[in-house]
Amino acid sequence: MTTTISTPPNVKLLSLGDKQTGKSCLIKRYCEKRFVSKYQMTIGIDYGTTLVNSTTKSKPLKLHIFDTGGHACFSQIRKDFYENCQAILLTFNMNDSKTFENLKNYWYEELKQNLGTQFDIDSLVIVVCGTHSDSNTFEVKSDEAKLWVESKRGWKYFETSAQNGENVAEVFEYIFSELLNMHENDGRRIIEEKTGFSDEQIEAVERILKGKDNWHKFNLHPNNATKDDVKKQYKHYAKLIHPDKCTVPGHEEAFKEIVMIRNALLKSVKK
């Protein structure tokens, strides 16, 4: 009788994000079960491979990790490692809003450009990690980050701490589980489609939560707005982001705020 030994599938994970956002720390925390407190810049690419087992699947995976340097000067080096990538780990520092803005703009554009036709979420696992979740001073709100990530089909958001281990195992377990599901489904992911989400709802929540002042949040001008304009805009938002009709992250906070904005503007408007 011949025993057949199955070979674990090979999968490739690429880490991306600004320097000092904790890419290497997350990987070391998971793979080596330790936290490295001293910052050591990744020069170009760090490569490692490990055999991993999912807690929800019986099959192991051979994971090839390409941990990239976040400096702009390494962009040409990073470009060569996007090919045949099955998983992307994106990071930003929750204590530094600039790293989140760079994620939404610079890194997102680099991702799309370098993946090209491979930028297909049905065959690619993308996870975004807000790092330093153990801090008490956040510059990036959880709802803001979750809103941006979850507005993208098939993307997943976690808040992590390499220092205390919060959600680190959960991040990699999610990645492994999705990759194994994809391997068992002829290279295609099974993505649960979101409901109750629209671009208009996302834009409304973002405007209300991030607008520079009440006039901007209600998309009105103080020089020509009337009380009727304020009431009309309030009704529009109330219908659009009502908790019974909206699931956009942050919608409950935004819904409460539109009441306060309406009352404040009605006191300011003279006509």
How confident is the prediction along the chain (271 residues), in pLDDT tens digits per residue? 444 556 788 899 999 999 989 898 998 888 888 877 665 666 667 888 888 876 666 678 888 999 988 777 788 888 888 988 999 999 999 999 999 999 999 999 999 999 988 888 899 999 999 999 988 889 998 888 988 898 888 999 999 999 998 999 999 999 998 998 888 888 889 887 766 567 788 889 989 988 889 999 999 988 888 999 999 999 999 999 988 888 888 888 999 999 999 999 999 887 7
What tokens were used for 144?
Answer: 């803001």
How far, in Å, CA of 129 to CA of 67, rounded?
14
How far, in Å, CA of 163 to CA of 251, rounded?
31
DSSP 192: P
Q: Which helix (H) or strand (E) holds 50?
A: strand 45-53
How far, in Å, CA of 126 to CA of 148, rounded?
13
Neighbours of 179 (CB within 10 A): 24
How far, in Å, CA of 91 to CA of 131, rounded?
7
- pLDDT of 43: 64
The pairing of beta strand 45-53 with beta strand 60-68: antiparallel
Statement: the pTM of the whole predicted model exceeds 0.95: no
